[in-house]
Amino acid sequence: MGCQSGATESKSAYPKALILSTSIETPATDSPSIKTLKPYTDLVFEKEEILSAAPGTKSVLFNSDGSKLYAMNLEGMSVYEFDQASRKLNRVFKFKPTVGMGWDYTTDKPIRSFEEKPVEACFSHNDSILWVSLHNAEGIVPISIKNAQPPFETASGIPSKKITISYPESTSKDSALLPLIKTGKTPKIITKTADSKYLLVSNWHSYNVSVLELDKTQFPFGKVISTIPVTSIPRGIVVDDKKEKSYVAIMGGASIAVIDNKTWKTERTIDVASNPRHIVMDSTGRLFVSYNKLAKVACIDPETGKTLFTAPTHVQPRTIFLSRNQKFLFVTCYSGNMVDVFKISDTGFNKIASLPSAGKPVGVDIFENDEKLEAWVCSYTDGAIRVYSFKKS
């Protein structure tokens, strides 16, 4: 489902398209090869760089090999693609705005806004599709990142969103129509099973989680097969592929919902502290959670429900992210305007850095090679991405 604009043909190194079709070419397996890194035990902060993004950047996401970073600009109604090595902006995916209803989180009231406001994202099918949640559109859209495809004939009954693709170092532009897959009101986090068979979406105002079955050969590449009710506002989701479970942070309450990935039903809840926002898991199955209102992070054993250890953070910890060796936890602290970095042991957190981060930091993702680690942090109010570089030892 796509169209070409009347713009001149792109002369960039990228294919002209991002036009979605009936087929997305991907390898037989959805397990990108990730280079094994040298062991390290310590991080030493070296420098900060500031890149220009767009207004209201809500989240950032690296592709599997760390060569490209994607920034979801909620207020800018766009997705930016940055090159990790050069720090340059490669492509801008700009949504055409349509009037819709949004939400004022200060007054807890609906407000007039636009539908096309990107919140979070997730890659599937070996990084060929970038799924983006649109805050006020009650659904998500797939963007074809890698492959040029022939146009797909408009499918009856499937709503769409138009994007323009521009290349900052060229005057060329392309355009595409993206299918909008309805999930629920105010979709937030998107995550997938490792095999890219299923996608999960937390719907803030619907008090539920949507489960999509994915099919890279069948337009629009995903369909909702289950809607799982939860007790209050859901936010973070993490999938345990080994145990076929998913864990959902109930930010509007004080629990984590445990979902059976075979039946797509909630099998139990884990009682935790109030207002859990983001949630990640290490290779041993331990959960790490940020508590927004309480200003702390915690490590939880999901089998027993026991909190193993906690640590205070600066005000309003939002997104958290584990280093590749799972020994360091990065925490963006929204109202604290800080990024806290913890070293993780078997029994606790040890804070090794608190880095000033103006502009309400909210999203973070990490690039690593053998010599260094970079934490790319997006700020909501100042339209910047800060790159914090650490030397490994």
- Domain containing 106 equals 43-392
| Cβ–Cβ < 8 Å for 255, 237 | no
In a domain? residue 32 = no
In a domain? residue 385 = yes
In a domain? residue 139 = yes
Q: What is the pLDDT of residues 259-299, one digit of tens each?
A: 999 999 999 999 999 999 999 999 999 999 999 999 999 99
In a domain? residue 280 = yes
User: Taking the complete model, does pTM exceed 0.75, yes or no?
Assistant: yes
Give the confidence band of 157 by pLDDT, cuts at 50, 70, 90: confident
Q: What is the pLDDT of residues 45-61, one digit of tens each?
A: 999 999 999 989 999 99
Cis check for the bond before 220: say yes or no (omega within 30 of 0).
yes
Give the confidence band of 23 by pLDDT, cuts at 50, 70, 90: very low
In a domain? residue 2 = no
Per-residue pLDDT, 35: 80
The answer, yes or no, to whether residue 184 has pLDDT greater than 80, is: yes
What does the pLDDT average to over 343-360?
97
| Cβ–Cβ < 8 Å for 258, 271 | no
What does the pLDDT average to over 134-158?
75
> Mean pLDDT across the chain, nearest whole number?
90
What does the pLDDT average to over 152-162?
72
In a domain? residue 347 = yes
Per-residue pLDDT, 39: 95
| Cβ–Cβ < 8 Å for 359, 381 | yes
CA separation for the pair 285, 241 (Å, rounded): 10
Specify the range with the lowest mean pLDDT, choosing from 106-110, 126-130, 221-225. 106-110
Per-residue pLDDT, 32: 63
Per-residue pLDDT, 216: 86
Give the confidence band of 169 by pLDDT, cuts at 50, 70, 90: confident
In a domain? residue 341 = yes
CATH number of the domain within which 92 lies: 2.130.10.10
Amino acid at 22: T
* Number of separate domains in the chain: 1
Per-residue pLDDT, 106: 83
Give the confidence band of 108 by pLDDT, cuts at 50, 70, 90: confident
In a domain? residue 52 = yes
- For residue 208, the tally of other CB atoms under 10 A from its CB is 20
The answer, yes or no, to whether residue 127 has pLDDT greater than 60, is: yes
